[in-house]
Structure 1
Amino acid sequence: MTHSPPDHRPAVTVLSGFSPTATSAVAHRLLSEDPNLLLVVHTLDDLADGRVRRLVRTAAGVVEDVTVELVHGCVSCTLREDVLPTLVRLARTHPQSDQLLALPRAVEPEAVASACAHTLLDGRPVTDAVRFDSYVTVVDVDTVLDGLDTTDDLRDRGLHAAPDDHRAVADVVARQIEYADTLVSWARPESDPLERVRVATLLRRLAPWAVQLDADAPDVPAALRRTGRHDPQKPGTLGRGQEGYPIGEHDPTPDWGVTAMLFEARRPFHPQRLHDALEELAGRTLRARGQLWIASQPDTALGFEAAGGGIGLGSLGYWLAALPPREWDDASPSRRLTADATWDPYYGDRRTQLAFVGLDSAPDALTTILAECLLTDDELADGWDAWSALPDPFAGCFALPEPTTGTAP
């Protein structure tokens, strides 16, 4: 039996959350438990002017407090130009110290993972110097429902990270929860105990893959650090279905008012009927995510998400069935395996997988709305050529690279 060599890289715990009070409380508890732990915080108040403040501290005091000038004032530039270089530099100057990266409230953890995967420092991957151990999201029990249900944009609260940042608060809160491998529920002493149970149920439905902890549990520090829960191969939330990962759970029976359902179909959506139903779908769900396809654009896999009364659709690229086999090698092994395992003789790997989480909602009614948006048997019988002539409000919305010779039936 062979053993892996010991990993001496400092471990990085990425801490996110939309409540600064809750996130700060957990960060300081972790600091108090380990005098060697380095807390790294970036303040983005002056990001639009190309400046960020970087604070590095231990439980004993401040190690660094500097203002950094950036070439461009954006979150991705901050990650590439200062956040990741800081982690690598600290790993070299403090090799015995693990790191706690506390993200600003409007930064999504998936953005950090993406930057890490695509950034080289001095020609070497960031992960040569540090190991991203886990992604932890702290949830404020008293405010998370408001965050998931609000129609506010970040701009409405003065939290937008750039002039063109039009993200919704609900989207950010949901994505922070969904990407986490560990969720920590934080509550004030006066918080309603029943609300804590309700929120815990909601979090299980939103992120059934995440470990849940209470911030006031005695074993929280040990349960958060050096867990190895982060899987660097894990795809982004919207692409999980294509890679064979679960996108949610099906449990339509209300539990503390929270319902969860999965909707799956092989046949495509009628573009006009789907478009006409989007507003009602958004109004009937607290959060939705997944992938789908529409008959008029059969080459394109579409990512779907809903939160805060809004819906977003975007291209996830080509379905493998729309590409010549020689181009399949560009897809990940897990996606190719998933396509092989679920391949349909007529549709190929094209399929709809949507997950919905609601409060006091009616999953049966939601299923009916979605089913009525699919092509009917008669429309299906008309064939692929006829589908391209269907009225399509989404025409021109989902750009793809130059088309190759496809294999659509």
Structure 2
Amino acid sequence: MSDVNIDASLIANGGANLSRTEEKMVEMTNGCICCTLREDLLVEVARLAAEKRFDYLLIESTGISEPLPVAETFTFADPNGEKRSLSDISRLDTMVTVVDACNFLQDYKDAESLHEKGESLGPEDHRTVTDLFIDQVEFADCIILNKMDLIADEPKKDILLMEIMTKLNPRAKIITATNGQVPLNEILNTGLFSFEEARAAPGWLKEIRGEHTPETEEYGISSMTFRVHRPFHPERFWNFLHNDWMHGIVRSKGTFWLATRMQTGGTWSQAGGQVHITCAGTWLAAMIPPSLDGEKISVLDGLGIPQKLIDQLDNNKYGDRRQELVYIGVHLDKEKINEGLTSCLVTDEEFEAGPDLWETFNDPFPS
């Protein structure tokens, strides 16, 4: 859903390897989406299986994707026998859906109002992102109710949530969690997924018949990236974050740079109404002594630093320091978001004055 793989940059230092495949434009010659648009999934899984280094593979699709087409992809076999099926090299074990316990009830109430109006099944039905959330819950083998700590002071809310989850999907295993902490044996090697039960789901095999509408079209979901090598004025950015800027935004995350913080960058993560801001770590440019400025490449050689970040050290006045924020939402007002974030940047005059002036700015962010 974005042109920046924020997750990869956040966890690269942990030794993980993320593979990001590009979207493919293909000619639909046989009406089959599984063997064309999702061919990349087969290629990636086959590559990992051939390495024989892993016991389990967790596929985390974007939060706005529908789970049913992913499951269908595992069942498809090339009628010409030229390509293997995913089922030949792997076993689909569990479909897991993570539910935001803090925000779901409000979304569910909105969904109820659609049904009461009789619009959800009508020919002129304009589905909302709430319908997508319900689809994800209904198709899951395991439902994780996350952020339970945020509703700890509302004892009736957790009971109501459990009742709603059970009503929507009586066969699913329900697990409560805080900060996504779940015992691995609850979601790995469970044997919970059943193709027989999945085939009973409405819309099964729509992919093979070519009837599935992309989520971006069906729900009006889109994304945008704000990327610039200029710092935020901390006070202006703080004030912006406390205004009504999140309308229509389902998810946002990324890295940001405050003019008063030349050493460290910040990590931004927002889901629903919750926003988390933490320290992302030290900028690469801040790690290189001025005396070695002409030897940047040799200094970073062998550290596993992505080449695109090394390139930024030479191509930008302040190296890899930057704003790189991704927004995903429903009917996004991209122009308004871009204008709002741009207004938070230091002005041309402030930028030319440099860090000596920036140090004097009021910075309301936590240390």
Alignment TM-score, normalising by the size of structure 2? 0.47
Higher relative contact order (CA 8 A, sep 6+): 2
Q: Greater share of strand residues, 1 or 2?
A: 1
Alignment TM-score, normalising by the size of structure 1? 0.42
